[in-house]
Amino acid sequence: MSRHPLVNVDDYQAESRRILPRVLYDFVNGAALDGQTRQRNTDGFSSWWLCGRSFRSAPEIDLSLELFGTKLGAPILIAPTGASGLLWPRGEAEVARAASSRGIIMQVSAGSILSMEEIAAAAPGPKWLQLFLYKDRGLTTEFLQRAKAAGYQAVCVTTDAPVHGRREQDIRNGFTIDQRLSLGTLLDAAIHFRWWLRMIGQPRFSMQNFAGRAKGNMTDMAAYIAAVLDPGVTWDDFSWLRAQWDGPLVVKGILHPADAREALERGADAIQVSNHGGRQLDGTLSSIDALPAIADAVGGRAPILLDGGVRRGTDVLKALALGATACAIGRAHLWGLAVAGEKGVAAIIDILTSEMRNAMTIGGWTSIGQLDRSAVTRIPAHQTGEEI
């Protein structure tokens, strides 16, 4: 563990960099091309400034909300992250337990190391399955049936990954993970011995949701998954999916207000503003920059979720003020997982909620429902002479 207290997400990321093999750290932190969108996801929050009010604070701050009939402890979700079980033994189960203990939703990736059934059984609490529309619609239907049988509350369909983005660092690294030490990995093992030691004795890595369809090592399985992605998906395919699933259906990857309107017209129950963490198309709009126009287009007809660049509790508050219902954290929770498993993920959630409570107490908002566009401004008002 670090010699210094880990007090924010950046601290956990720095500690993860010391723990994880370089190729794995680069995989988690990586982005498409030059990483401009990944950077803007984070930097975009600094374009907005909170506008607190005086003499409105209260000793108790209410962070709770209801989503699809489920009472949640905070407006935070765990975003779906593929292969997160590479960071910690049975990593997705660790994440599930942390989310359950904090009363928040876990969005489970179709590309998880553990099966969706194992993750569902790891802890109580609401879970959503993230999936794609595959070329083999039978595979998509099978996933829906398995999700329903395992008790998943909702399905979150990803729209922004018809093919994998070009992640140059992974290409340079020849991203593969093999627990067996060889001459080529001895030096890396010596430097990152903590990761290697905790992974000793674990089953060989495999994406269990695809067991029986793809065989071989992680590289072979990743190649299979890439091959079954459908680059020809249309809105009519989404309508087909809507007819197959009778529970809440979330559309993840929306950046354009016209797409948000189309999704609702075709039966979506929620919109997730996302650019896949900047891992797909570089140079595209950041999530927080896209949010206001999408919120206007949705007009309160459905919940709006946001993921991408959330690293502070104040980031969450700004997103809520601009129209989001809740925010999902991707890399942020992975840094906690890499450092301390379930305890690390819970610590990240606690850090964000603590930062939210602190900011809301100072700013005079006693519940998240009080955050609207009057709570933020683009630049400090004194620079423009505008009244808030």
Catalytically annotated residues: 276
As beta bridge partners, residue 106 has: 78, 127
Strand 49-50 and strand 376-377: the pairing is: antiparallel
Residue whose entry in the numeric block shows the structure tokens 């018809």 = 162
Residue whose entry in the numeric block shows the structure tokens 């309160």 = 300
Token reading at 127:
């879970």
DSSP, residue by residue, 302-314: S-EEEESS--SHH
User: What CA–CA distance (Å, rounded) separates 319 from 305?
Assistant: 9
Which residue, among 365, 278, 271, has the nearest Cα to 44 in the 3D structure?
278
Strand 376-377 and strand 105-109: the pairing is: unpaired
Cα 104 to chain centroid, rounded? 13
Element (H, E) at 77: strand 76-78
The CB-side HSE value for 210 (13 A sphere, CA atoms) comes to 28
Token reading at 359:
């900011």
Within 82-167, where are the H helices? 91-101, 116-122, 137-150
Strand 105-109 and strand 127-131: the pairing is: parallel
Q: How many residues does the chain have?
A: 388
185 backbone dihedrals φ, ψ, rounded to 5°? -110, 0
User: What CA–CA distance (Å, rounded) separates 274 from 288?
Assistant: 9
Q: How far is CA 3 from CA 6, 11, 15, 25, in A?
A: 9, 11, 10, 20
User: What CA–CA distance (Å, rounded) separates 373 from 200?
Assistant: 51
